[in-house]
Structure 1
Amino acid sequence: MKRVIYLMAALLVVTGCRKYVEIDQIGTRTFKYTSDYRAILDNNNIMEGGISLSIYSGDDTRLLDSSKQVGLTDINANAYTWQPQYWSDIQGDVDWEKLYKIIYTCNEVMNGVLTSEKGTEDDKKQLYAEALVHRAYSYWCLVSLYAKQYDAATAATDPGVPLLLTPDLFASLKRASVATVYNQIISDVKEAIPALPDLPDYNTRPAKSAAYAILARTYLGMRDFANAKHYADLSLSIQSDILDLRQYTTNIAAFPYRLNDKEVIFSKIVNGFTFQGIQLDTALLSLLGDKDLRYTLFVRPGASFFPAFTGYGYWRYRYSREGNAIANGPTVAEMMLVKAECAARENDVNTAIDLLNTLREKRFAAADYTALQAGTAADALNSVVNERRREFFGTGLRWLDQKRLNKDAAFAATVTRRFKGVDYTLEPNSNRYVYPIGQKYILLNPEIEQNP
């Protein structure tokens, strides 16, 4: 956009023509055509951002190799050991900045697209709706990381995150409550749904399938299991294909890029982090077992990475041949697991186990697959939680599961890890499950309240 403005300014100097007088001033960002807004929302370098740092916080990651510990940056080490602050007064938080950049971009689109030129009304409404969904997803990420887990008893008073709904650069940054942020997410997505297609042209664009998936995630975090199941069902009614990992055991070159992955509902990836081999926890490896194709395909010895390390690391994102693009947006498998968890919590054991078996059948070679048997609702729920861990390891989503499952006595667990000779302990429902806000942002904006 700036290149065009500079070119027009140069033409004005050279020609002196009157028709170049009525141009936007240099440095002014002006979006005029509907296609301008499409280009903004299709800028995946910005709009595809999700969560990142939780990969180090969660118990799927365990840095047992001393070289991995020594090589970890200060920010990542702070997240790994659940420190009260991760960043110095001058360091930026990549996740915080990227997610709020997405939100600002969405607010710019919503502020102007409906009055833009050379576009149909349907196109304008769809772009407006896509911006709503991107904004909602970004707020879901933010409130999941930087606020307490949703609790109906305290959500109205627990600090959430700054809620910016216009592109006003001077808006208040006082934190809205957790309940207010969750309500905004739900409101944005529900408003968007009528103008969205069922499926997107590209999985980086929101569609109804993605909108329903985001609602399923949101309601699951709120422990509104009836609505979580309802929206997972709606998403699966549109998009239900899952990858059959058995197809890739002898032809790994055929493994799809994430943008061509039929299982991805809404493509979101980590924000600019460089992961030189994510060392996996031994308890996770034991849970997977060596027959699970998620182990044989997505786990590699540390010698496969550079620099090499002792132990085993997460490999799946390497198949997509897209650098460090670790995907953690909603998938078909996730919606199956959301539905299964809600069914188990409603004592519908058969539905929960059937969903797990449908998924697991595609995750084992035929000779190694054994169907799960229905037992009690508690057994089914435990199986779902374990399956979520097998399905999402290495993506950062496990941290969010740990956080929300602390509300269940059966799953609340104390996590310990040793780092550079010091032992660190994370208690269930600890304040350390709430990410600190970078001190840099509070110094610049004192109205932002720090987390305890």
Structure 2
Amino acid sequence: MKKALSFLSLIVAAMCFCGCEKYLDIRSSKSTVIPSSLDDLQALLDATPHINLGFYPALLEIATDDYFVPHNIYNLVTAFEQESYIWKPEPLYLQQDVNGEWTNPFRNVSIANTVLDRLPMIDGNTSTRGQHIKGTALFFRGFSYFLLAQVYCAPYNTQGNNSGLGLPLRLTPDFNEPSVRSSVQGTYDQIISDLNSAADLLPVTVEFPTRPNKAAAYAALARAYLAMEVYDQADEYAAKALNLYDELIDFNELDLGAALTFAPFHRETIFYAASNGYTVLNPRYACVDTELYESYDELDLRKKAFFTDNGNDTYSFKGSYMGNTGNGFFVGLAVDELFLIRAECQARAGRTPEAMEHLNHLLRHRWVAEHFAPLQVSGSEECLRLILEERRKELLSRGVRWSDLRRLNKDPRFAKTLIRVIDDGSNQTTYTLPPNDPRYVFLIPQEVIRITGMQQNLR
């Protein structure tokens, strides 16, 4: 780990505000340790505190409808948290917010680019281990770009033009290259290309779930294609991932009274990663949306596995797949999500029996065993609605709800206006976010725009 952190000085030095288009780049110096072996490259990718923990945008959850915060908590959090929570058109990023929501996710891209740049000089891309390292770097780059795209790019449009503003796609560690925004199409093309290449190169098994394997690459592709609404491909890649690993936890075997329901790296985990954190998202302060909580049947063990009664008619979330409490949330990949992807895609294709088979397989592991009866539906429309409801109930605080809202808002059947109410005891202020509003794409930090000269998202 010391070696990994030493090499990370090569990355960290470049992330300061050192001038213009070099904002996202890696700058080397004579005092910087340069990776010179496969062990060095692997050490960079194994720097878990920098690669896996807290280096993905918290904006994936901060504006969703799954929770609310009481007025006294709202008054305590930072201005950026308040403004993002109520969907203010132009939330002002402070330096800590720039780091958490932009610089750190791009740091993972920079680490991946450094590894990909150095690997041919060290290995010639010929050894099996070198191929695994290359696949890991490509996975981290594609996965990071996907999560960033859910925050800073318009939703992908399968029926229309995707020439709108995408991400600045950094594909080399050359700090002389200016930062220029690609298109939405170009961004998703790069995501799919990186993850497909990673799937070809990664091993089937890895020693730790902080390293991606082949199933992780397939699962990431399934998530990406679902966000793109390319449902046949999402189903195909979810099936490929499940063919490699499909183990579910039986909630009947859990200690539902435990303060934390899940241990880190539990057996549903395919790839472990966590978001940046904010106080407004901490389970000690954030309350689960009341209607969401009430949607769980009393025989559904998730109602006890996921939630803690606060004793004042509100409930907190204790079911994080991170295996701990904090201001961040799990953004990694797990088996339960794949069954839901398969079920939704099959429902959309009119394959109702197959869709319900996958949904019921998951729910059988979630309900009180002696009381579970497979759910039945009358047709494809009811099937799809049920699966989408279960998707929200299962994947709470997993970094997918924002992406789901963005794509489902395109369909009048599922479009939803989000509402926040700030009540100080004497006055109520209501804020709304209508479907397909421009605020479903967050502003890039203002300081990044000032330094790079890139075009800002529209308001």
- TM-score by shorter chain over 0.5: yes
The answer to whether the 8 A contact 2:248-2:335 is kept is: yes
Which of 73, 83, 88 is matched with 1:83 structurally?
88
The answer to whether the 8 A contact 2:330-2:399 is kept is: no
Other-structure match for 2:384: 381
Distance 1:185 1:425 in 2: 32
1:112 to 1:2, Cα distance in 2 relative to 1, 3 A: closer
Distance 1:431 1:25 in 2: 42
Shift of 1:451: 3.3
Distance 2:152 2:408 in 1: 17
Other-structure match for 1:99: 105
Other-structure match for 2:310: 302
Shift of 1:414: 1.2
Other-structure match for 2:403: 400
Which of 20, 27, 33 is matched with 2:31 structurally?
27
Shift of 1:215: 1.0
User: How far does the alpha carbon of each residue in 1:25-63 deviate from its partner, in whole angstroms, 9 at most, with x for none?
Assistant: 753231111101111101111111334223221110122
Other-structure match for 1:438: 445
Other-structure match for 1:47: 51
Shift of 1:254: 9.8
Which of 114, 118, 131 is matched with 2:120 structurally?
114
Name the % identity. 30
The unaligned stretches of length 5 or more in structure 2 are 8-27
- What amino acid maps onto 2:361 in structure 1? T
User: How far does the alpha carbon of each residue in 1:418-446 deviate from its partner, in whole angstroms, 9 at most, with x for none?
Assistant: 12431111111111111111111111111
Distance 1:227 1:377 in 2: 20
Distance 2:5 2:204 in 1: 36
How many residues align structurally?
A: 427
SS of alignment partner, residue 316 of structure 1: coil
Distance 2:4 2:383 in 1: 56
The unaligned stretches of length 5 or more in structure 1 are 6-23, 304-308
1:130 to 1:170, Cα distance in 2 relative to 1, 3 A: same
Shift of 1:127: 0.4
1:327 to 1:247, Cα distance in 2 relative to 1, 3 A: same
Structure 1 or 2, whichever has the larger Rg, is 1
Distance 1:3 1:43 in 2: 7
Matched, 1:140 2:143: no
Aligned positions of 1:186-225 closer than 5 A: 186-225=192-231
SS of alignment partner, residue 190 of structure 1: helix
User: How far does the alpha carbon of each residue in 1:253-294 deviate from its partner, in whole angstroms, 9 at most, with x for none?
Assistant: 8955322x1111111111244424321111111112433211
1:221 to 1:27, Cα distance in 2 relative to 1, 3 A: same
- What amino acid maps onto 2:272 in structure 1? S
Other-structure match for 2:15: none
1:310 to 1:157, Cα distance in 2 relative to 1, 3 A: same
Shift of 1:88: 4.0
The answer to whether the 8 A contact 1:436-1:450 is kept is: yes
Which of 37, 41, 47 is matched with 1:37 structurally?
41
Shift of 1:66: 2.3
Other-structure match for 2:286: 278
Distance 1:123 1:441 in 2: 37
Distance 1:193 1:44 in 2: 21
Runs of 4+ in 1 over 6 A off after TM superposition: 2-5, 117-120
Please tell me the root mean square deviation across aligned C-alpha atoms, in Å. 2.5
Distance 2:395 2:4 in 1: 41
1:255 to 1:3, Cα distance in 2 relative to 1, 3 A: closer
SS of alignment partner, residue 46 of structure 1: helix
1:269 to 1:386, Cα distance in 2 relative to 1, 3 A: same
TM-score (normalizing by structure 2): 0.87
TM-score (normalizing by structure 1): 0.88
Distance 2:232 2:143 in 1: 21
Other-structure match for 1:409: 412
1:299 to 1:255, Cα distance in 2 relative to 1, 3 A: closer
Matched, 1:328 2:331: yes
- What amino acid maps onto 2:445 in structure 1? G
- What amino acid maps onto 2:433 in structure 1? L
Shift of 1:96: 1.6
Distance 1:145 1:2 in 2: 29
